[in-house]
Amino acid sequence: MTDREGPRTSHQPAARPGVDRRKRRGLLRHWRLLPLSKTLPIMLAALLFSSVALIATVTTSALNTSLYGQLNTELSLATERARATDVAKGDAAVRPDDPVPPGLDVRTQRAHTIIVDLRQGSLRAGYIDDGETPTFHQLDSDQVAMLLKVPVDGGFYDVPLPDLGTYRAVAINDRTGARQVVAISQEAVANTITQYMVVQMIVIALAGIGALLLGWMLMRRALHPLEVVARTAQSVAGRELATGDAALTERIPEVFVDDVTEVGRVAGSFNRMLTHIDDAFRVRRASETKLRRFVADASHELRTPLASIRGYTQLVLRDADTLPPHAAEQLGRVRSESERMSDLVEDLLLLARLDNEPVIEREEVDLRGLLIDAVADAHAAGPNHHWQLDLDASQPLEVLGDENSLRQVLVNLLANSRTHTPAGTNVVLGAAIVGDDVRIQVRDDGQGIPEQMVDTIFDRFVKADDSRTPGQGSTGLGLSIVQALVHAHGGSVSVASTPQRFDDDGRPLEGVHGTTFTVLLSRLQHPQQDDETGAQNDADDASANRA
């Protein structure tokens, strides 16, 4: 028997705020990663579900209030009929041997209405069913005990009766002081509310599924232009735009471009942006082509006068004994500068050729001999440096390429370390097989490259500052030639540098510093050699396992 539910005590442990916040952040991050084609239908279905659920809650509450209000009214009428019957018959009319409580045999009384009558120590309790021949049923002691617990205050109470279900009951005292309890079954009301809620849940489920499917179809149709824009943007983003060698042909189809919808305006603006970028690349390519042609033509034209200057200077210097000392010295400077300019012209011509015809002839080249020769030449050119070769001479390092070009790559890298590091620097030239590539590295423990120059070290005419070039100069083309030759071979070149740190007084601090240039070239594959190498590796592994 309950009139209202009391407070409930929960013994569940309190949730940890930090864990809840992390979970919420994880859910929000996962939600943000969903595409609009999934997010919008889910939001539409959620909105529909919440709206229908709110309407269902309100209508169910209203129906519950109405039905129980009607049940209370009917219970009040049943109580009045029982009281009126008692008044009409009088207390003397109630026979002690009659098991039927007063007021229950009224024809207008609803079937299955329970009346408990307690007067003068006599207890009558039961109900009349709704069969073809109405029959009186007495209540057992447990049922009567539950009904007698109802307070005599005129209030309506829900009483669970064993074997009969839940009844709504009210207790009164008649004019003689006799106690009566009248109860009506709630089964019809409960069944009605349950059926209504089941129908509502079915309708909500069907409406939600329908809204989800319909929303997905409509959103997919509406967002298709946006998907086309996204695919086009991804295609452009996947292009290597830094070189700008190829035209930007990607465009959003005109069927998705308009001046009305937001996606249509974005598509039109995106197409115009791609057109402007393509025009800018076309202008840049034309300018670069003219500049390269000018450099190639100018370098080619400078070859002859520079050769003449060198020739005449050498011819005059043959009779240096007849010249004043200062004149011979000045002519020597003229010869050295002309030779340096000739080297610069040759470098420019080589870069111009690689820009126009990056494809080179390829043949089998074993890098071991080139590495040994490069270290020997570097030792002769820079005896004040410590040169080392890190090479397994028994392991072939074969690539497809041009031998002279690869030799120039090694010479330029070693010359860069010699030129831009002080005397006494350790320079190591190493090579090894890494997967399907041959890795060539030039490592030095010099001052390192300033951080602001690492990203532009392979650009043309980029020169290191005085901290890395102590008292020597360079044209700034050596590393550009290295990059161009390596790319022409289908490889890659990179640099990693850790600059040396100094204290406030300019004294060097302890720590690792230096520069490493790494060249990766595709290794020439020989299936027979690879099988032998794999078998040898397997044998070594087996021996190691036995050991």
Element (H, E) at 304: helix 262-317
First CA to last CA distance, the chain = 83
* pLDDT for res 541: 52
Residue entry with tokens 């409509």:
218
Inter-residue contact 365 to 406 (CB < 8 Å): yes
Nearest CA among 278, 276, 197 for reference residue 241 = 278
Q: Number of helices (H) and strands (E), helices first, in the chain?
A: 10, 13
Q: Specify whether domain 360-540 bears CATH 3.30.565.10.
A: yes
Coil, helix or strand for 11? Answer: coil
Nearest CA among 533, 534, 525 for reference residue 399 = 525
* pLDDT for res 6: 39
* pLDDT for res 10: 42
Inter-residue contact 78 to 182 (CB < 8 Å): yes
Token pair, residue 91, equals 């207390």
Task: Return d(Cα 34, Cα 43) in angstroms, integer.
Answer: 12
Rounded to the nearest 10 degrees, the angle between the axes of helix 478-488 and helix 403-419 is: 150
Average model confidence (pLDDT) across the chain: 79
Nearest CA among 179, 205, 171, 144 for reference residue 75 = 171
* pLDDT for res 88: 53
* pLDDT for res 4: 41
Beta strands 398-401 and 437-444 are unpaired
**Spans of all domains in the chain:** 37-195, 239-357, 360-540
Token pair, residue 462, equals 């980029």
Q: How confident is the model at residue 459 (pLDDT cuts 50, 70, 90)?
A: confident
* pLDDT for res 244: 61
pLDDT over threshold 90, residue 336 = no
Percentage of the chain surpassing pLDDT 90?
17
Task: Return d(Cα 352, Cα 288) in angstroms, integer.
Answer: 11
pLDDT over threshold 50, residue 12 = no
The alpha carbon dihedral of 388, 393, 397, 403 has a sign of positive
Residues 180-192 pLDDT 10s: 889 998 888 889 9
Range in 69-73, 158-162, 460-464 with the lowest mean pLDDT? 460-464
Task: Return d(Cα 135, Cα 250) in angstroms, integer.
Answer: 90
**Looking at per-residue confidence, does 447 or 356 come out higher?**
447
Say whether 360-540 and 239-357 share the same fold. no
Just give the CATH number of 37-195. 3.30.450
| Average of per-residue pLDDT across 23-50 | 67
Give how far Cα 147 sits from Cα of 183, 357, 378, 502, Å. 8, 106, 112, 97
Inter-residue contact 71 to 184 (CB < 8 Å): yes
Coil, helix or strand for 110? Answer: coil
pLDDT over threshold 70, residue 44 = yes
Percentage of the chain surpassing pLDDT 70?
82
* pLDDT for res 471: 41
Nearest CA among 523, 498, 363 for reference residue 443 = 498
pTM of the full predicted structure?
0.51
Task: Return d(Cα 543, Cα 546) in angstroms, integer.
Answer: 5
Nearest CA among 369, 389, 392 for reference residue 378 = 389
Rounded to the nearest 10 degrees, the angle between the axes of helix 367-381 and helix 403-419 is: 30
Range in 29-38, 254-263, 342-351 with the lowest mean pLDDT? 29-38
Inter-residue contact 116 to 147 (CB < 8 Å): yes
Nearest CA among 388, 454, 459 for reference residue 427 = 388
Just give the CATH number of 239-357. 1.10.287.130
Nearest CA among 229, 351, 242, 261 for reference residue 298 = 351
Task: Return d(Cα 150, Cα 148) in angstroms, integer.
Answer: 5
pLDDT over threshold 60, residue 460 = yes
Residue ranges of alpha helices (H) inside 90-186 are 141-148
HEC string for 471-532? CCCCCCCHHHHHHHHHHHCCCEEEEEEECCCECCCCCECCCCCEEEEEEEEEECCCHHHHHH
* pLDDT for res 286: 82
The alpha carbon dihedral of 321, 326, 331, 332 has a sign of positive
Inter-residue contact 88 to 63 (CB < 8 Å): no
* pLDDT for res 94: 52
Q: How confident is the model at residue 432 (pLDDT cuts 50, 70, 90)?
A: very high
